[in-house]
């Protein structure tokens, strides 16, 4: 009956703890407290009440001693559970193959499993104090009452508050076993009732204080860990675990200050940027892109000495600080070693990825007034290496001068849009069949406040890099359409003149391109048949299906399409027939050398034949001599443009040309 009762209420106790979401690993103070209240106090009390009632009912003991027996059983059961259960639950944590969680694994990895040498003296002193307290309190007959319990209570509390719940559980187990053995050996069953209550008080107090201490220790450790992580994250890159910009700048500042004290101390900065990393990221995905960055960071570390610093500034940019150099050629050797280490492909989940990098090198021998200047110059050299497609470049002062000029021009370029400093010039498009004016190509010019009229070659590349080109293209398209509509209204011709404008890659890639073109035609009133848009071969090479869909939508508006600079880009002849193109524009590099170099006439003839076979018109640009015009007419080229007819003209001069009705 006792066993059934105990098991029943033990199961009920376990169910109640489960419903209260008590973690049996007893890691939190809440878990310890509820465990003591339910498993040690409440459940044993119910069991004791039933035990005492059972014995009284069967007249094993009289009902007059029911309360005394209940307290006696309760104290014994509660002390036994409190003594064994926490210790066993903690012990199970030590055997991960029995009772392991990810939390246990993480905690175990950062915790000592054995006493350190420095802990042994304290452990021995505390154990000796506890043993002497047990002997003094329970080794003589007066000790079997509660008078001398404090001799055990004090060292137990000290251990619990000093070391936490795990040591408190071990202390409770040791104390109960030692006292039970000592008292039974010395006095038998004398005054066991008082003894049980004394031990229960020590046990519960010790475990509760141990839980409080462990909770405080965990919170303090969490704060320390958080501070360590915060300090680490402030100095190291989260992805690669390399030093970040802040830590790199600190070390660079240290090298700079040292070189001021010792002029012979050489150091260098290498600025590294991955080529085409955006394409790689878009192809394999950002997750594999991150894995690639980690792999590259490991490669870079392998190429350096332990004293050197490699850092990730962000994205695909890395920097290296080389200190205590023996020769100015050392950084070049490091750059070549890095390039050589990256020749082999990286294996990313079964996919091979090849990577190249551009490296800029700046040497302290150049002489710097601020530590940050050498990092800036290494960046400039890297940009130069990327432009020239070389493996690395060493900084020189000319690069800095060009970078300053470029930055100034970028600022002025942004202001030019706001100040409306751009102009549209118009170059005649001539029918080589009739010799008459067929239309104009709209070409942008920049009316610079200091440098006068600047051609596109001076600023278009910078405008494309800064993202301003699509805004310029949009403005030119609107301005050219508006001007042509005015000319058609004021100076009507038969057939009507056409206006041709360039459509840059960024402008073409806009999701609302069709709406913009349609809106401009509506706002200006120009007939769509009078507009021709020129796209480059590179646009056709990017995305077949999406490009074809966009081109078909443009054609649906009634607008004509032309491939600009045909023969210089990356379009595939095998796919050319798939695109709804109206005209091929033969690049000036072929036309301008007709008669000067063997083969150019034949190439031009082949292009004209291709256009004819595909049902397209053709226009030759860059006609500069009468001989070139004669040859092109012999090849039946429909249209042409170039300085032979006219250079690009401002709107007023172009209007006068229309009125004069020239004949070539």
pLDDT of residue 113: 46
Q: Are 291 and 234 in contact (CB under 8 A)?
A: no
Residue 240 is encoded by which pair of tokens?
Answer: 């690669």
The pair phi, psi for residue 467, each rounded to 5°, is 80, 10
Summary count for the chain: helices (H), strands (E): 27, 16
Give the residue among 270, 376, 399, 266 at the shortest CA–CA distance from 333: 270
pLDDT the model gives residue 214: 84
pLDDT for 503: 87
Residue 85: give the domain boundaries: 2-100+117-232
Alpha carbons 571 and 567: distance in angstroms, whole number: 8
Eight-state DSSP code of residue 60: S
Torsion angles phi and psi, residue 12, rounded to 5:
-60, -40
Q: Under DSSP, is residue 26 helix (H, G, I), strand (E, B) or coil?
A: coil
The burial class, CB within 10 Å (0-12 / 13-18 / 19+), for 21 is: exposed
**pLDDT of amino acid 17:** 60
412 within some domain: no
Task: Identify the three-state secondary structure at position 309.
Answer: strand
Hunting for tokens 């310890």 — which residue is that?
32
Nearest CA-CA partner of 87 in 179, 165, 177, 204 = 165
Domain presence at residue 526? yes
Selection from 568, 567, 551, 570 nearest residue 559 by Cα = 551
Is 573 part of a structural domain of the chain?
Answer: yes
* 631 in the same domain as 562: yes
- Residue (of 561, 581, 487) closest to 517 by Cα position: 561
Residues 94 and 188 in one domain: yes
In a domain, 324, yes or no: yes
- Structure confidence at residue 646 (pLDDT): 93
Strand stretches in 175-232, DSSP E: none
- Asked if residue 107 is part of any domain, the answer here is no
DSSP per residue, 296-342: HHHHHHHTS-TTSEEEEEETTEEEEEEEEESSTTHHHHHHHHHHHHT
- Judge if 151 and 219 occupy the same domain: yes
End residue of a domain, out of 376, 395, 414: 395
- DSSP secondary structure code for residue 663 in this structure: B
Are the beta carbons of 248 and 323 closer than 8 angstroms? no
440 in Cβ contact with 427 (< 8 Å): yes
**Based on the domain organization, do 183 and 156 belong to the same domain?**
yes
Q: Does residue 173 fall inside a structural domain?
A: yes
Q: Do 67 and 157 lie in a common domain? A: yes
* Residue 188 pLDDT: 61
Q: Is 295 exposed, middle or buried (0-12, 13-18, 19+ CB in 10 A)?
A: middle
Domain boundary among 232, 267, 301: 232
520, 552: one domain: yes
Please give the structure tokens belonging to residue 597.
């170099």
Q: Give the neighbor-by-neighbor strand order of the sheet with 309-314.
A: 309-314, 317-325, 266-274, 357-363, 392-394
Domain shared by 326 and 179, yes or no: no
- Is the residue at 411 inside a domain? no
**How many angstroms separate the CA atoms of 564 and 576, rounded?**
13
- The answer on 495 and 631 residing in a single domain is yes
Distance CA 151, CA 136 (A): 7
For residues 389 and 458, state if they share a domain: no
Q: Six-digit token pair at 227?
A: 């501070």
Dump pLDDT digits (tens) for 395-419.
887 776 777 777 788 888 888 888 8
Same domain, 250 and 133: no
Checking phi first, is residue 108 left (phi over 0); if not, alpha (psi -120 to 50) or beta? alpha
Give me the residue label for tokens 């090298």.
Answer: 255
Angle CA 34–35–41, to nearest 5: 95
**Which CATH number belongs to the domain containing residue 353 in this structure?**
3.30.70.270
> Looking at the structure, do residues 454 and 308 belong to the same domain, yes or no?
no
Helix-helix angle 192-235:66-93, to 10 degrees: 30
- Contact, 316 vs 355, CB < 8 A? no
Residues 532/582, Cβ–Cβ less than 8 Å: yes
pLDDT at 212: 86
CATH number of the domain to which 434 belongs: 3.20.20.450
Q: Is residue 311 part of a domain?
A: yes
Q: 495 with 626, same domain?
A: yes
How many domains does the chain divide into? 3
Model pLDDT, residue 112: 47
**Total residue count of the chain as it appears in this document:** 664
In this structure, are strands 437-448 and 498-502 parallel, antiparallel, or unpaired? parallel
Picking from 360, 395, 430, the residue at the C-terminal end of a domain is: 395
- pTM of the full structure: 0.54
Low-confidence ranges of the chain (pLDDT < 70): 1-25, 92-116, 140-148, 186-194, 400, 541-544, 567-575, 595-599
> What is the SS3 string spanning 618-638?
EEEECCCCHHHHHHHHHCCCC
């Amino acid at each position: 009956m006792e066993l059934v009762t105990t098991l029943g209420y033990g199961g009920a106790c376990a169910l109640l703890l489960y419903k209260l979401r008590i973690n049996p690993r007893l890691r939190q103070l809440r878990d310890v407290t509820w465990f003591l209240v339910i498993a040690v106090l409440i459940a044993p009390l119910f069991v004791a009440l039933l035990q005492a009632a059972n014995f009284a009912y069967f007249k094993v003991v009289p009902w007059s001693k029911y309360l005394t027996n209940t307290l006696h059983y309760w104290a014994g059961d509660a002390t036994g559970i409190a003594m064994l259960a926490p210790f066993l639950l903690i012990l199970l944590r030590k055997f991960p193959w029995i009772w392991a969680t990810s939390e246990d694994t993480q905690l175990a990895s950062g915790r000592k499993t054995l006493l350190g040498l420095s802990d042994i003296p304290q452990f021995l002193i505390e154990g000796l104090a506890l043993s002497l307290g047990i002997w003094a309190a329970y080794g003589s007959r007066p000790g079997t009452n509660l008078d001398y319990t404090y001799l055990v209570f004090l060292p137990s509390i000290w251990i619990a508050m000093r070391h936490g719940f795990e040591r408190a559980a071990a202390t409770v187990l040791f104390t109960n076993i030692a006292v039970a053995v000592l008292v039974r050996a010395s006095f038998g069953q004398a005054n066991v009732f008082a003894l049980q209550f004394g031990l229960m008080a020590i046990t519960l107090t010790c475990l509760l204080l141990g839980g409080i201490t462990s909770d405080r220790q965990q919170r303090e450790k969490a704060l320390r860990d958080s501070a360590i992580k915060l300090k680490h994250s402030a100095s190291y890159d989260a992805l690669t675990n390399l030093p970040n910009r802040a830590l790199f700048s600190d070390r660079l500042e240290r090298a700079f200050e040292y070189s001021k004290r010792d002029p012979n101390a050489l150091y260098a900065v290498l600025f590294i940027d991955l080529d085409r990393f955006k394409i790689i990221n878009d192809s394999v995905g950002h997750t594999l892109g991150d894995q690639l960055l980690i792999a590259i960071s490991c490669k870079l570390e392998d190429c350096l000495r332990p004293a050197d610093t490699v850092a990730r500034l962000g994205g695909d940019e890395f920097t290296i600080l080389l200190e205590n150099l023996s020769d100015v050629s050392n950084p070049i050797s490091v750059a070549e070693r890095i390039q050589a280490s990256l020749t082999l492909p990286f294996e990313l989940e079964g996919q091979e990825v090849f990577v190249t990098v551009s490296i800029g090198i700046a040497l302290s021998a150049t002489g710097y007034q601020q530590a940050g200047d050498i990092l800036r110059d290494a960046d400039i050299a890297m940009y130069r290496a990327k432009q020239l497609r070389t493996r690395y470049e060493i900084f020189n002062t000319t690069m800095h001068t060009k970078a300053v000029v470029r930055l100034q021009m970028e600022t002025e370029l942004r202001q030019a849009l706001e100040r409306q400093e751009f102009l549209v010039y118009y170059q005649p498009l001539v029918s080589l069949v009739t010799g008459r004016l067929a239309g104009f190509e709209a070409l942008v010019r920049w009316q610079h406040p200091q440098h006068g009229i600047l051609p596109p070659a001076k600023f278009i590349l910078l405008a494309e890099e800064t993202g301003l080109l699509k805004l310029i293209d949009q403005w030119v398209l609107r301005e050219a359409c508006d001007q042509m509509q005015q000319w058609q209204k004021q100076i009507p011709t038969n057939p009507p003149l056409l206006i041709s404008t360039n459509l840059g890659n960024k402008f073409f890639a806009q999701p609302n391109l069709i709406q913009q073109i349609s809106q401009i035609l509506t706002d200006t009133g120009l007939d769509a048949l009078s507009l021709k848009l020129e796209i480059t071969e590179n646009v056709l090479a990017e995305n077949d299906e999406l490009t074809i869909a966009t081109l078909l939508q443009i054609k649906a508006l009634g607008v004509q399409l032309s491939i600009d600079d045909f023969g210089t880009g990356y379009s595939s002849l095998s796919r050319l027939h798939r695109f709804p193109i109206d005209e091929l524009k033969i690049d000036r590099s072929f036309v301008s050398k007709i008669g000067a170099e063997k083969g150019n006439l034949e190439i031009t003839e082949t292009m004209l034949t291709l256009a004819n076979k595909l049902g397209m018109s053709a226009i030759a640009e860059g006609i500069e001599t009468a001989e070139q015009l004669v040859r092109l007419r012999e090849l039946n080229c429909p249209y042409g443009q170039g300085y032979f007819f006219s250079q690009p003209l401002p709107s007023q001069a172009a209007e006068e040309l229309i009125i004069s009705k020239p004949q070539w």
